[in-house]
Amino acid sequence: MAEKVPVLSVQDVHKQFGDTPVLNGVSLDLFRGDIKVVIGPSGGGKSTLLHCINFLVKMDAGNIYLNDTRIDQSRKRELYAYRQKVGMIFQDFNLFDHLDALHNVMIGLVQVRKLPRSEARQRAEAELERVGLKDHMAKYPAELSGGQKQRVSIARALAMEPEVMLLDEPTSALDPELIGEVHEVIRAMAALGMTMLLVTHEIGFASTLAKEIYFMDGGRILEQGPPQKILFDAEQARTREFCSKIGRLNENSD
Amino acid sequence: MPEGIIVIGENLSYILGGLWVTVAVVGGALSMGLGLGLLLALGQVYGNRLLQRIVGVYVWFFRGIPLLVLLFIFYFGLLSALEIDLSPFTVSIVVLGLISSAYQSQIIRGAILSLPEGQFKAARSLGMSDTRAILFIILPQALRLSIPGWANEYTIIMKDSAVTYALGVTEILARSRHVAERTYQHFWIYILAGCIFLVLTYIGTKLLQRLEEKVRISGYAH
Amino acid sequence: MIEELLFIRQEVAPELIAGLWMSIQLIIPSAVCGLLIGIVIGTLRVYGSPGLKGFAGIYVLFFRGFPLLVQLYLWYFGLPRIGIYLSPFAASVIGFSLCSGAYQSEYIRGALQSIRKGQLLAAYSIGFSHTRAIFSILLPQAVRRALPGCGNELIYLIKYSSLAYMVTCIELTGKGSILANFHFKYLEIFIIVGAIYLLLVSVVSVGLNYLEDRIAVPGFDRPKI
Ligand SMILES: Nc1ncnc2c1ncn2[C@@H]1O[C@H](COP(=O)(O)OP(=O)(O)OP(=O)(O)O)[C@@H](O)[C@H]1O
Ligand SMILES: [Mg+2]
């Protein structure tokens, strides 16, 4: 295999809130088509990491490279262009409350990509159809179920034609019976070769998709490796403890 | 400025003498507003079409006409037309009370409507009459929920009570005006008057907050 | 009866219409200035530095806490003692604007605070700039949340404009009062005056309701006050 350049490269990210360090030097690389999963205990800094990668939270130190180009967040235009290339899915959806599903997807195309409205509408309709919401396009967030909201938010991110998707516990705010529909959409993205960094507690789902799992705790990546290794044969005691706990939880919930 | 302070010092007790008039007007109007407002709210929620209509018109009327104009209608207009003799003080209480009843009825109505429907059903399922259900199940809950609305209504009526000066009621603003005209310290005297009202609204709001905490049912979400 | 109507038409109506016109001239600039003040103060209370927040808080405390009539007296009778002379009209408009601004700011503040932080994060995450996020996401939501309260404040302003008469600005109530005293017809004239206010308030609230309906979106509660 020839030397490849990662699509997204995260290098030595540090972040502290007040006096509390939350990220203590996190690095990772995503190559085209990679699906990598981050697991770890609550408060370990997973959300903060994804927010830092998208510059939604200002990091204290560290660098982000997209296709080998360092992102300078003080250059606003570059930053906005970068964010379009890196889609972000939030735990609590964050659909725009005053817009219906269709316009949630359209607004980025119209305002940021400057597409003509008719073209934006067509694109948005296609994206919504892809996530199975053809019949719900005129509904407002308050009228959608959690699973539908999350699918709209995925369509909204996909409409910007991102090269990488960051997903922060996309199903943790959902009722169990709604998780499947979102997983299906993520699986479909995977099948199309989307590069993804996924934070989740759904270990079973994760291990069927992931090429590699990162175990994160105390603001560091403590261990990384293929799913089977991390889940059943981890080197660190901390990782084993977490995985056995979460494994039991998942069994119980079935 | 020192001169203003001296004048304030000399006349404070005279101005504060209007306190009881203000308190009596506000207290009277709020009590009258509560009694009437409660009846109006019940009429609007549980009454028949006609009653609901009448309450609706009443509320529209008293919320749509300025206090000053209502005071004039009642004091200069109605009293002489009906040949009744009432003091400006009494008329002020009545007019403020009527206005307040319109607003309070909507506070209480909102509270009643916000109660889950199951409350009424459960009461009926025990064999309670509708009247009993309203008295012992609905109102105790609805009145609790109304307290924040009342706190707001109290501050409004307190401030509006200054308008009764237009009929010559010798409340705080009237006495302040006397002093201001006499001493030519309008600026400081009116600041003082404003601050007295500020303190009065503050005290009342705090008392109502206390009441709200005291009658709070633990676990009752607002 | 015919005589009555003729009297009203010839003696009363022209005067009251002139008064109404004056009232409208008081209400419109006060409403506009009040809303602008409210937007500035409300925004400062949410996004301002600690110092500005404090200033805005004190502003609201005093201009909401003082009875409007006391404020009008302060501007009209109080300011001349420290060398500032205002016409009855100017004193009224200033008094209404400052007081209304304090109330409006509370609605603006509530609206801004009700917007969840994630709304802006989501906008940034698909490449919005700050300005664009404010105009396409923050403002449309804030306007919907603030409109019922701000509209209600406009209704109050219409009614409280009658207090201008107390500082000798002769608007609708003032004209009515003069007519009533002159003709000794208190009941009739004040009832007509009241009816005009009622009409004005009703028309404006129908307009506001229409506006709210036009921009209504599920999930944005419309508290009816
Ligand atoms: N804006 C903030 N201000 C202060 N502290 C914060 C902030 N955001 C996060 N933190 C803290 O940073 C730490 C890491 O939070 P983070 O949300 O990244 O954890 P997480 O791994 O995503 O947890 P979870 O699984 O619960 O989502 C926590 O201790 C949290 O309290
Ligand atoms: Mg998280």
- Would B68 be classed as within a structural domain? yes
Separation between Cα atoms, residue B92 and residue B167, nearest integer Å: 8
Task: Give C187's contacts in chain B (Cβ within 8 Å).
Answer: 73, 76-78, 80-81
Q: Does C218 sit within 8 Å of A143, measured CB to CB? A: yes
- Would A75 be classed as within a structural domain? yes
- Would A144 be classed as within a structural domain? no
- Would A151 be classed as within a structural domain? no
Task: Give C129's contacts in chain A (Cβ within 8 Å).
Answer: 76, 80
CATH of the domain at A244: 3.40.50.300
Domain that holds residue B180: 3-215
Ligand 1 and A45: CB distance under 6 A: yes
Interface-testing mutation among C126, C131, C144, C220, with chain A (most A C-beta atoms within 10 A): C126
CATH of the domain at B39: 1.10.3720.10
Ligand 1 and A47: CB distance under 6 A: yes
A138-166 average pLDDT score: 94
Q: Does B76 sit within 8 Å of C187, measured CB to CB? A: yes
Ligand with the closest atom to the CA of A51 = 1
The angle subtended at Cα C199 by Cα C197 and Cα C202, nearest 5°, is 105
State chain B's mean pLDDT as an integer.
91
* B31: its two tokens: 């009590």
Separation between Cα atoms, residue C141 and residue C121, nearest integer Å: 15
Instruction: Give the per-residue pLDDT at C119.
Output: 94
B190 contacts C74 by C-beta, under 8 angstroms: yes
Which residue, chain included where needed, has tokens 């996909």?
Answer: A158
A145's torsion region: left (phi>0), alpha (psi -120 to 50) or beta?
beta
**B213 pLDDT higher than 90:** no
Is the Cβ of C55 closer than 8 Å to some Cβ of chain B?
A: no
Q: Which of B3-7, B114-118, C220-224 has maximum average pLDDT?
A: B114-118
Structure letter (DSSP) for residue A18 = T
Instruction: Give the per-residue pLDDT at B5.
Output: 81
- Would A82 be classed as within a structural domain? yes
| Tens of pLDDT, residues B170-188 | 999 999 999 999 988 899 9
Cα–Cα nearest to A154, from A80, A93, A203:
A93
Is the Cβ of C71 closer than 8 Å to some Cβ of chain B?
A: yes
The domains found in chain C, sorted by start residue, are 2-215 (1.10.3720.10)
State chain C's mean pLDDT as an integer.
92
Q: Name the residues around ion ligand 2, CB cutoff 5 A.
A: A 47
For residue B9, how far is the Cα from the chain centroid?
Answer: 31
Q: How does strand A20-30 pair with strand A195-199? A: unpaired
| Tens of pLDDT, residues B15-26 | 999 999 999 999
C55-79 average pLDDT score: 95
Instruction: Give the per-residue pLDDT at B218.
Output: 67
A45 CA: nearest ligand 1 atom: 18
- Would A61 be classed as within a structural domain? yes
Domain that holds residue A214: 8-96+164-253
- Would A16 be classed as within a structural domain? yes
Q: Does C137 sit within 8 Å of A96, measured CB to CB? A: yes
More confident: B5 or B73 = B73
- Would A104 be classed as within a structural domain? no
ipTM over 0.85: yes
**C202 pLDDT higher than 60:** yes
Separation between Cα atoms, residue C31 and residue C41, nearest integer Å: 15
A216 CA: nearest ligand 1 atom: 21
A21 contacts A45 by C-beta, under 8 angstroms: no
Facing residue for B68 by CB, picked from C73, C163, C180: C163
Shortest-distance Cα residue to atom 26 of ligand 1: A42
Instruction: Give the per-residue pLDDT at B221.
Output: 54
Does chain A touch chain B (at least 3 C-beta pairs within 8 Å)?
no
Facing residue for C81 by CB, picked from B66, B160, B187: B187
Is the Cβ of C190 closer than 8 Å to some Cβ of chain B?
A: yes
- Would B147 be classed as within a structural domain? yes
- Would B222 be classed as within a structural domain? no
B47-59 average pLDDT score: 95
Q: What is the DSSP string of B105-141?
A: HHHHHHHHHHS-THHHHHHHHTT--HHHIIIIIIHHH
- Would A137 be classed as within a structural domain? no
Ligand with the closest atom to the CA of A40 = 1
Structure letter (DSSP) for residue A249 = H
Position C172, amino acid = L
- Would B30 be classed as within a structural domain? yes
* B165: its two tokens: 């000066």
Q: Does A143 sit within 8 Å of C125, measured CB to CB? A: no
Task: Give C179's contacts in chain B (Cβ within 8 Å).
Answer: none
Reported as a pLDDT band with limits 50, 70 and 90, residue A251 is low
B167 contacts B91 by C-beta, under 8 angstroms: yes
Is the Cβ of B220 closer than 8 Å to some Cβ of chain C?
A: no
B176's torsion region: left (phi>0), alpha (psi -120 to 50) or beta?
alpha
Ligand with the closest atom to the CA of C117 = 1
- Would B142 be classed as within a structural domain? yes
Strand partners, A86: A164
Instruction: Give the per-residue pLDDT at B49.
Output: 95
| Tens of pLDDT, residues A167-192 | 999 999 888 889 999 999 999 999 99
Ligand 1 and A220: CB distance under 6 A: no
Reported as a pLDDT band with limits 50, 70 and 90, residue C223 is low
**C21 pLDDT higher than 70:** yes
Instruction: Give the per-residue pLDDT at A254.
Output: 45
C144 contacts C217 by C-beta, under 8 angstroms: yes
Instruction: Give the per-residue pLDDT at C225.
Output: 47
Q: What is the DSSP string of chain C?
A: -HHHHHHIIIIIHHHHHHHHHHHHHHHHHHHHHHHHHHHHHHHHHHHS-HHHHHHHHHHHHHHHHS-HHHHHHIIIIIGGGGT----HHHHHHHHHHHHHHHHHHHHHHHHHHTS-HHHHHHHHHTT--HHHHIIIIIHHHHHHHHHHHHHHHHHHHHHHGGGGGGGT--SHHHHHHHHHHHHT-HHHHHHHHHHHHHHHHHHHHHHHHHHHHHT--TTS-----
Separation between Cα atoms, residue B166 and residue C76, nearest integer Å: 16
Q: Does C126 sit within 8 Å of A140, measured CB to CB? A: no
Structural domain count, chain B: 1
Q: Does B68 sit within 8 Å of C173, measured CB to CB? A: yes
Structural domain count, chain A: 1
Separation between Cα atoms, residue A27 and residue C20, nearest integer Å: 71
A150-164 average pLDDT score: 95
Q: Is B217 exposed, middle or buried (0-12, 13-18, 19+ CB in 10 A)?
A: exposed
**C7 pLDDT higher than 80:** no
For the ranges A53-67, A239-253, B69-83, C34-48, the lowest mean pLDDT is seen at A239-253
Give B 171-190 residues with CB within 8 A of chain C.
Answer: 173, 176-177, 180, 184-190
Q: Does B68 sit within 8 Å of C162, measured CB to CB? A: yes
Element (H or E) spanning B60, and its range?
Answer: helix B49-64
| Tens of pLDDT, residues B126-159 | 878 888 889 888 999 999 999 999 999 999 999 9
Strands (E), chain A: 8-17, 20-30, 35-39, 61-66, 69-70, 86-89, 164-168, 195-199, 212-217, 220-225
Task: Give A93's contacts in chain C (Cβ within 8 Å).
Answer: 118
**Which chain C residue lies closest to A156 (C-alpha atoms)?**
C126
A41 CA: nearest ligand 1 atom: 25
**A129 pLDDT higher than 80:** yes
Q: What distance in angstroms lies between residue C125's CA and the mean position of ligand 1's atoms?
A: 18
Reported as a pLDDT band with limits 50, 70 and 90, residue C208 is very high
Q: Does C159 sit within 8 Å of B64, measured CB to CB? A: yes
More confident: A158 or B8 = A158
Instruction: Give the per-residue pLDDT at B125.
Output: 80
